[in-house]
Amino acid sequence: MSDQQASDLLSPGSDGVARAREDLRSAAMRPVLEAQRWWWPAVIVLAAVVVLGVVAWAVQLADGLGVAGYNDQAFWAVYEADLVAFIGVSYGGAVVSAILRLTSATWRAPLTRIAEATALVTLPIGMLFIIPHLGSPQRIWELVWPPYWNLSSPILWDFFAVSTYLLATAVFFYLPLIADLPIAAGRLAGRPGLRARSARLLYRALGGTRELGVSRRRLIEGSIGLVAIMVIPMAVSVHSVLSFAFASSSRPGYSETIFPVYFVVAALYSGIALVVVTVAACRRLFHLEAFIHPRHFVRLGFILVAFGAAYLYLTFTEYLIDGYPGTDGLAAWVRQDLTGRYWVPFWIYFVVAGIVPLVIMAWRRTRTVGGVVTASALVVGALWVKRLVIVIPPANEPLVHSPLTAGGVLAGNWGSYHFTWVPISITLAATAAIPLLLLVLFRFVPILPIAEMEELESLEEELTEAVEIVATAGQPRPAGQRLTGPPGGLGPPGGLGLPPASACAPATLPPTTLPPATTPPVGRGEASGWPR
């Protein structure tokens, strides 16, 4: 076999590669280049909900926390549950993306940009709940101005941890975007309008003017791997420190040694569920079905139920440890949760977020895109309810004991919290802000990681070509014939075009020799002929 023949074999069909690349870049830039008919109505409705939340907060500033339902017997309630829930769901996107990157899972590629964007927008929204929780917004200076720091407070350390994690999340989102920005600037070349010109200037400032070469690509990949390693322990530390605000108190139901692990697992559980819902929405709204396939949802669903099973076990452990001894304070709030005034939200969580997702993923018939998305949506809502069950009952439990009541607990003096329109409006505003920010963000950045998906596709094409070269070496072939790799490029349902396992079986290979040693080595990502 001559050097020219070997070179021809290692070069995929240019038409198929160009078509696949064009399809990918068009799909990734679709939200940037054209606003769908539903885009402006959706933005207006979501923005109106956010404005309603701002109005409710202004009313609370004028009239005090009493209008939000807070009182002397219910000093912690919905804002603390919102703080824990919204910060928790932000971890799913970043941590799942980091784990899949570190494990070199190639099927992750179409999901990473959406997952990392979800983490980026939900974390600051969760941090903002500290403002309505404080009542007086000027007290926020006690967290940011050193003379006011109380270094013994877990709230202060949680603020430091969350702020550091926010910076790491922003870097984790930006680094993979660097290689895509020159491509995005090229797609906007020649387009009129202020937004297109402003976007091109922004792309060139953040990503340069030319597509990255191999050396810069390798440098960025190493940086992404380093940040991915840092993101995982940061996420664990942030929610662990957040749990210390509860676990370091003296109230029954809060002083739990299991809380750090409990909070971390709950954050990952709800975070992965939110990623599934967001990916499904983006897939449908922006027509990404050719790149995000049902098997992506099934694999995320298996990760979801793994954390769900762990969370059920931790829930069982918490109530067993507190309820079994039967001491006054601990047994009182356990009874209130399981059979008392809070039994409805507790069992709603237990069934909806604990049992239903396991049943859905256990049956092949329901293990579909619709089934996984339904289970994830139920988990997101039910985990918020569970945060209310964690926060409100211990805060309402009386700490005064009386020998006149059974067990020494003044059961009739339990406090109560009642929802008002103010916290409901603020919570809905924060919920609406997540899709609103995502819609605005994807009007400026590609929704799919273009360079990463092209890189993974080229690597898999090289694997397919190498297998076919070994399998067919020495056999006659018409002059000029090339091996084109799997048809359809990035389109097959497999994710990124990996060859079937049977193609790699050594038993099927005829005895032969490899191409001559004089064949020039093919570098990673060079065989496809795609520009880098």
Task: Give, in degrees to the nearest 5, the angle at Cα 348 between 432 and 155.
Answer: 60
pLDDT tens track for 31-78: 998 888 999 999 999 999 999 999 999 999 999 988 998 888 788 889
Q: 0.85 cut: is pTM over it?
A: no
Are the beta carbons of 153 and 249 closer than 8 angstroms?
Answer: no
Predicted pLDDT of residue 408 = 45
CATH pick for 69-400+433-442 out of 3.80.30.20, 4.10.410.60, 1.20.1630.10, 2.60.40.10: 1.20.1630.10
pLDDT tens track for 100-126: 888 888 888 899 999 999 999 999 999
Q: What is the mean pLDDT of residues 85-92?
A: 88
In a 3-state reduction of DSSP, which class is residue 401? strand
Mean pLDDT of all residues belonging to the chain? 81
In a 3-state reduction of DSSP, which class is residue 376? helix
Q: Pick the more confident residue, 467 or 305.
A: 305
Structure tokens at 359: 């049943």
Q: What is the mean pLDDT of residues 210-221?
A: 80
DSSP symbol at 356:
H
How far is it, in rounded angstroms, from Cα 298 to Cα 294? 6
Q: Pick the more confident residue, 153 or 462.
A: 153
Lowest-confidence region among 160-174, 381-395, 447-461: 447-461
Structure tokens at 467: 């297998």
Predicted pLDDT of residue 278 = 96
Cβ atoms < 10 Å from Cβ of 287: 12
The answer to whether residue 455 scores a pLDDT higher than 90 is no
Q: What is the mean pLDDT of residues 318-323?
A: 86
End-to-end CA distance of the chain: 29
Residues 99-108: contacts with CB within 8 Å, 24+ apart? 99/232, 101/224, 101/225, 101/228, 102/225, 102/228, 102/229, 106/456, 106/460, 106/495, 106/496, 106/498, 107/295, 107/296, 107/299, 107/495, 107/496
Q: Pick the more confident residue, 503 or 299.
A: 299
Percent of the chain with pLDDT over 90: 39
Are the beta carbons of 308 and 345 closer than 8 angstroms?
Answer: no
Predicted pLDDT of residue 79 = 92
How far is it, in rounded angstroms, from Cα 162 to Cα 384? 19
Nearest to 425 by CA among 69, 44, 42: 69
Predicted pLDDT of residue 398 = 73
Q: Pick the more confident residue, 379 or 97.
A: 379
Cβ atoms < 10 Å from Cβ of 331: 17
The answer to whether residue 273 scores a pLDDT higher than 80 is yes
> What are the residue boundaries of the structural domains of the chain, listed by start?
1-34+445-532, 69-400+433-442
Distances (CA, A) of 20 to 205, 311, 418, 450, 500: 28, 42, 56, 11, 20
Structure tokens at 340: 């008392």
Nearest to 367 by CA among 312, 302, 308, 277: 302
Q: What is the mean pLDDT of residues 353-375?
A: 93
Helix (H) or strand (E) holding 216: helix 214-247
DSSP symbol at 341:
T
71 has which bridge partners? 74
How far is it, in rounded angstroms, from Cα 242 to Cα 263? 8
DSSP symbol at 74:
B
Predicted pLDDT of residue 4 = 41
Nearest to 442 by CA among 285, 300, 289: 285
Q: Residue 340 class from Cβ within 10 Å (0-12 exposed, 13-18 middle, 19+ buried)?
A: middle
Q: What is the mean pLDDT of residues 376-391?
A: 93
How far is it, in rounded angstroms, from Cα 208 to Cα 365? 48
Q: How many CA within 13 A on the CB side of residue 213?
A: 1
Predicted pLDDT of residue 462 = 61
Predicted pLDDT of residue 400 = 62
Q: What is the mean pLDDT of residues 130-156?
A: 81
Give the type of residue at 80. E
Q: Pick the more confident residue, 412 or 374.
A: 374
